[in-house]
């Protein structure tokens, strides 16, 4: 070894030693005294409860479902659920951004609490850095409880250092997304709370999907929420930050909040919500639910602790039975799609056995996580060779599509974020699950599986419409030398075009993705 290198390492070792010693000193506070609470049961006389009884004629195991594919509709639905709640609101999210839709969402929860509604807000800690002060202020309201799931240690240590030293613990996150009112109506799906999910970001629009449900299925969502809320991994914000308790001026915070939500930009967005299709249906009492038998598929929160020693704790184990029963067609929406060798073999076998397998995921240009694309790209050839149909989201909307957008909110970039699966156009799953190792093994997820030809057909038809206009269709071709290549076919400003490489990408991007694909990190993607 070169002497200078040895000398440099010897100087660096004490720093590394001190870093790990300091890292091991800090720890989370005890969480054994967190009070357990549960979803309210005496809510049949609420407006949502009455609506449920009118829709679902007893005795029946059916529930009602309404798909939320449009960003404005999805946000309008959340505002309606919160504003019409009479007893309780339970919100569970992976991320709530500190932007227009995130702040407006928080403001509506506070207003609900001021009406006397019990609010429980459970949020993963991944997106909360430097926001403890605001959470503590919100939680100071007597009707609001805030808990942080699988929190990082609040100390001098950066989150980056904790991710490195806490690999396998803090790297595993609660990815669930649900909003439930009065234990009678719920919204479950792929959307976090942030501008890009609700058509409020002028530069990026996530194509996403939620389902609003009413009826017996809501109780199952509430049961899952209670499991997470009462988990030892769910820390009250006051337990994490006792130094902030009593130090926040709640009234001053409300004043600043009101100034923001009364600003012109918020008013303009509210007017767009009023103009949404769903708002008009609610006002005209023309909202129609599709009926179907359903069940909630979800990971148990202990999955983050057990590391899958007990497969019964996983959503994946519940999902398998539906996969095994596929007879004709399997449709997949998965923005982060890393099938791995086992998944690739399973999907390939379906296709070889005559089952039509159709997959929509992000292209290199449309994805917001390039390293995940690297994990997916190396399986494309094998899947195409087996007859699997691969489609990738087009990055740039056409001129006509941008013109259809109203005002200054016409997003120039579209990225897939919906997570849904259709089985033989009879069963449909809508939730937070991606087909990648992180969702299946590392994180926790939730979704609703509905048996309904009407609802499954609606999602499948949506897939058909998207692949006709907004995607690249991948084709495997063999050149004169017998070498296989992938071609991309798609529309650019309404004109059909073919690419021999990932569309709208540079040589350096493609080379970087190739290098990332060589790294042994697939289990974390």
- Rounded Cα–Cα distance for residues 51 and 56 (Å): 9
- Residue 122 makes CB contacts below 8 A (sequence gap 6+) with 90, 91, 92, 93, 146, 147, 149, 174, 225, 228, 229, 234
Told to judge if 219 belongs to the known catalytic residues of this protein, a careful annotator would answer no
- Angle subtended at Cα 399 by Cα 394 and Cα 400, rounded to the nearest 5 degrees: 100
Q: What is the CA radius of gyration of the chain?
A: 24
Dihedral of alpha carbons 132, 133, 137, 140, sign: positive
- Rounded Cα–Cα distance for residues 33 and 503 (Å): 54
Report whether 427 contacts 454 (CB < 8 A): no
Looking at the DSSP assignment, which residues form a beta bridge with residue 122? 92, 147
Q: Which of 303, 395, 419, 426 is catalytic?
A: 419
Whose tokens are 């702040």? That residue is 103
Q: Which of 124, 127, 177, 436 is catalytic?
A: 177
Question: What would the two tokens of residue 245 be?
Answer: 């308790």
- Rounded Cα–Cα distance for residues 69 and 199 (Å): 11
Told to judge if 417 belongs to the known catalytic residues of this protein, a careful annotator would answer yes
Element holding 480 (H helix, E strand): none
Q: Which of 182, 210, 299, 436 is catalytic?
A: 182
Told to judge if 182 belongs to the known catalytic residues of this protein, a careful annotator would answer yes
Q: Which of 175, 373, 395, 426 is catalytic?
A: 175
Helices and strands per DSSP (H, E), number in the chain:
20, 20
- Rounded Cα–Cα distance for residues 24 and 19 (Å): 9
Told to judge if 504 belongs to the known catalytic residues of this protein, a careful annotator would answer no
- Rounded Cα–Cα distance for residues 117 and 139 (Å): 14
| Active-site residue list | 175, 177, 182, 417, 419, 424
């Amino acid at each position: 070894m070169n002497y200078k290198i040895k000398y440099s390492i010897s100087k660096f070792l004490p720093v590394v030693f001190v870093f790990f010693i300091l890292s091991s000193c800090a720890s989370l506070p005890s969480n054994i005294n967190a009070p357990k609470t549960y979803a309210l049961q005496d809510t049949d006389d609420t407006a949502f409860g009455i609506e449920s009884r009118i829709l679902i004629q007893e005795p029946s195991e059916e529930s009602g479902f309404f798909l939320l594919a449009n960003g404005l509709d999805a946000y309008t639905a959340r505002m309606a659920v919160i504003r019409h709640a009479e007893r309780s609101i339970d919100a569970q999210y992976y991320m709530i951004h500190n932007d227009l839709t995130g702040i407006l969402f928080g403001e509506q929860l506070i207003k609900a609490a001021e009406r006397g509604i019990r609010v429980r807000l459970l949020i993963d800690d991944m997106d909360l850095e430097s926001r403890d002060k605001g959470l503590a202020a919100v939680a100071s309201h007597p009707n609001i409880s805030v808990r942080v799931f699988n929190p990082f240690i609040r100390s001098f240590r950066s989150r980056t250092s904790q991710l490195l030293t806490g690999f396998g613990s803090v790297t595993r996150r609660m990815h669930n997304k649900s909003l439930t009112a009065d234990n009678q109506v719920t919204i479950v799906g792929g959307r976090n709370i942030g501008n890009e999910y609700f058509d409020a970001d002028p530069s990026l629009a996530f194509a996403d999907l939620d389902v609003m449900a009413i009826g017996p299925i809501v109780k199952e969502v509430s049961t899952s929420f209670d499991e997470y809320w009462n988990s030892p991994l769910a820390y009250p914000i006051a337990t994490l930050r006792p130094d902030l308790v009593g130090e926040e001026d709640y009234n001053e915070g409300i004043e600043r909040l009101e100034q923001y939500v009364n600003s012109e930009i918020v008013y303009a967005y509210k007017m767009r919500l009023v103009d949404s299709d769903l708002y008009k249906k609610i006002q005209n009492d023309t909202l129609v639910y599709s009926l179907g038998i359903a069940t909630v598929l979800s990971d148990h929160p202990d999955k983050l602790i057990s590391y899958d020693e007990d497969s019964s704790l996983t959503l994946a184990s519940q999902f398998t039975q539906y996969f095994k029963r596929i007879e004709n067609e399997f449709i997949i929406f998965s923005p982060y799609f890393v099938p791995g060798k086992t998944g690739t073999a399973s999907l390939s076998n379906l296709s070889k056995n005559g089952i039509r397998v159709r997959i929509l995921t992000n292209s290199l240009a449309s994805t917001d996580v390039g390293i995940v694309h690297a994990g997916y790209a190396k399986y494309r050839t094998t899947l195409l060779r087996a007859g699997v149909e691969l489609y990738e989201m087009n990055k740039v909307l056409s001129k006509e599509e941008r013109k259809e957008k109203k005002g200054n909110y016409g997003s120039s970039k579209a990225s897939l974020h919906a997570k849904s699966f259709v089985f033989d156009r009879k069963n449909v799953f809508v939730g937070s699950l991606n087909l990648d190792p992180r969702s299946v093994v590392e994180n926790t997820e939730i979704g609703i599986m509905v048996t309904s030809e009407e609802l499954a057909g609606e999602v499948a038809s949506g897939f058909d419409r998207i692949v006709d206009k907004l995607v690249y269709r991948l084709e495997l071709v063999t050149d004169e030398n017998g070498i296989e290549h992938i071609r991309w076919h798609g529309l650019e400003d309404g004109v059909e075009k073919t690419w021999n490489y990932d569309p709208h990408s540079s040589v350096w991007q493609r080379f970087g993705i190739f290098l990332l694909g060589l790294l042994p990190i697939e289990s974390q993607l």
